[in-house]
């Protein structure tokens, strides 16, 4: 799970740290980040997205329906990094991540130049019995600890690819590619065990930013799409999960099902809701459902994955969903989380259902410098206190302060300029 994230010259953050450390060396299983519009909440999710894109998990899709998108798009990574670099800064953009897992952990750093090139990379974790650097790379070359890759042919191939792609593709990306194409027995025989454990941990990470198109080859489109006939059992499971979830969530939903059509290229499917409307149960295509219902369908995936032990980062998971509905869902989800769920939100009703240790607020000072803090580190919160009321009172910052808008004067500008 993610223990800590530090960002420099990233979007609107010149230097910020997001610490998810818990008590007695633990890591928090869930966190919700608040702040006024434009404070940079989405930046946190974007940073994890850039990290995972640099590791090769996410690629650009020119067409969301294109299932043959290239497995690697190094040019896109450069564009992504360039777009996320703080405007007006000539200093490198630096991303540092600390992960904790299996009683140990790892620290990974990656730096980008203003034009989007990778200029530095480092992985540090346990080496034999002590912590040390597993690999480090910059424009001068690549260092790998002895024994990181035992097989000489394999090691030479990694070095060759790293030299060939340096600047546009990370060594982590190259190692992840090898992991995905090699069998486990070969990897266990030839890769440092601590490196292998870190790569396995990264496979658990999913990111859902609001501004990027994400493609995972094994992802199912929930509402409609096409699937290979050999994977129909996946569709059966998803159908049952959605039916159970929404029939318990909404009083008028009696169930859901997939209308299926066998074709030469697999199975085409479309989700339908069975809803009680004006005394009659009617079959409604999910594509005709409200934006809030569609948002809940999208939120279902990271919720279930977090419960299943995965690490989920979601931007505005509850946008467009009734405050009380998402609050009720989270009240039941949080005790069941076996992995980690981190989300940005504006839902202040949710605050009073959360522990102070899981509520974070991004504050902005008068010079535009930003800091993200857990509310329990700002002020002692008693069980009788309302986090929401304290937030509204400005105790934690992160709330909008609006001057007199003078809308009549503003509207008159149009007439004067007309």
State residue 298's pLDDT score.
Answer: 82
Confidence (pLDDT) at 181 = 83
Query: Which pLDDT score is estimated for 413?
Result: 81
DSSP class of 191 = B
Bridge partners, residue 257, by sequence? 272
Question: What fold, for 2-216+302-392?
Answer: Rossmann fold (3.40.50)
Look at residue 71 in the predicted model and tell me its pLDDT: 43
pTM score of the predicted model: 0.87
Contacts of 380 by beta carbon, 8 Å cutoff, 6+ apart = none
Task: Give the pLDDT of residue 63.
Answer: 43
Name the residue ranges covered by the structural domains of the chain.
2-216+302-392, 224-289
Contact assessment for residue 1 and residue 27, using Cβ atoms and an 8 Å cutoff: yes
Q: Give dist(CA 247, CA 266) in Å, integer.
A: 29
Q: What parts of the chain have a pLDDT lower than 50?
A: 62-72, 213-220
Angle at 310 between CA 95 and CA 130, to 5 degrees: 55
* Number of other residues whose CB lies within 10 A of the CB of residue 251: 9
For 367-381, write each residue's pLDDT tens digit: 888 899 998 888 777
């Amino acid at each position: 799970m993610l223990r800590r994230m530090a960002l420099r010259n990233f979007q609107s953050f010149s230097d910020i740290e997001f610490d998810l450390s818990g008590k007695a060396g633990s890591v928090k299983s869930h966190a919700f980040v608040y702040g006024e519009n434009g404070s940079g909440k989405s930046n946190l999710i974007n940073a994890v997205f850039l990290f995972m894109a640099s590791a090769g998990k996410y690629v650009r899709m020119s067409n969301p329906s294109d299932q043959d998108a290239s497995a690697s798009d190094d040019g896109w990574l450069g564009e992504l990094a360039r777009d996320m670099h703080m405007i007006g800064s000539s200093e490198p953009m630096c991303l540092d991540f600390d992960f904790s897992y299996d009683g140990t952990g790892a620290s990974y750093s990656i730096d980008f130049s203003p034009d989007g090139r990778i200029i530095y990379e480092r992985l540090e974790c346990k080496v034999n019995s002590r912590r040390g650097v597993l690999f480090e790379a910059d424009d001068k070359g690549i260092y790998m600890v002895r024994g990181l890759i035992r097989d000489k042919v394999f090691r030479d191939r990694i070095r060759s690819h790293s030299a060939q792609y340096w600047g546009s593709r990370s060594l982590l990306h190259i190692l992840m590619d090898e992991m995905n194409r090699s069998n486990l027995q070969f990897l266990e025989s030839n890769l440092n065990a601590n490196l292998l454990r870190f790569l396995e941990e990264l496979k658990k990470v999913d990111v859902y930013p609001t501004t990027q198109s994400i493609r995972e080859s094994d992802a199912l489109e929930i509402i409609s799409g096409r699937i290979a006939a050999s994977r129909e059992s996946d569709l059966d499971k998803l159908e049952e999960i959605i039916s159970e979830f929404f029939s318990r969530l909404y009083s008028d939903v009696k169930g859901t099902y997939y209308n299926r059509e066998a074709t030469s290229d697999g199975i085409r499917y479309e989700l339908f809701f069975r809803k009680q409307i004006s005394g009659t149960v009617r079959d409604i295509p999910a594509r005709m459902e409200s934006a809030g219902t569609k948002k809940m369908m999208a939120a279902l995936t990271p919720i279930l994955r977090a419960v299943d032990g995965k690490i989920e980062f979601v931007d505005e998971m509850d946008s467009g969903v009734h405050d009380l509905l998402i609050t009720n869902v989270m009240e039941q989800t949080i005790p069941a989380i076996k992995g980690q769920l981190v989300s940005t939100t504006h839902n202040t009703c949710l605050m009073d259902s959360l522990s102070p240790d899981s509520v974070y607020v991004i504050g902005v000072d008068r010079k535009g410098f930003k800091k993200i803090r857990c509310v329990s580190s700002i002020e002692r919160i008693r069980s009788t206190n309302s986090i929401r009321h304290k937030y509204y009172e400005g105790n934690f910052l992160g709330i909008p302060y609006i001057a007199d808008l003078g809308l009549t004067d503003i509207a008159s500008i149009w007439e004067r300029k007309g």
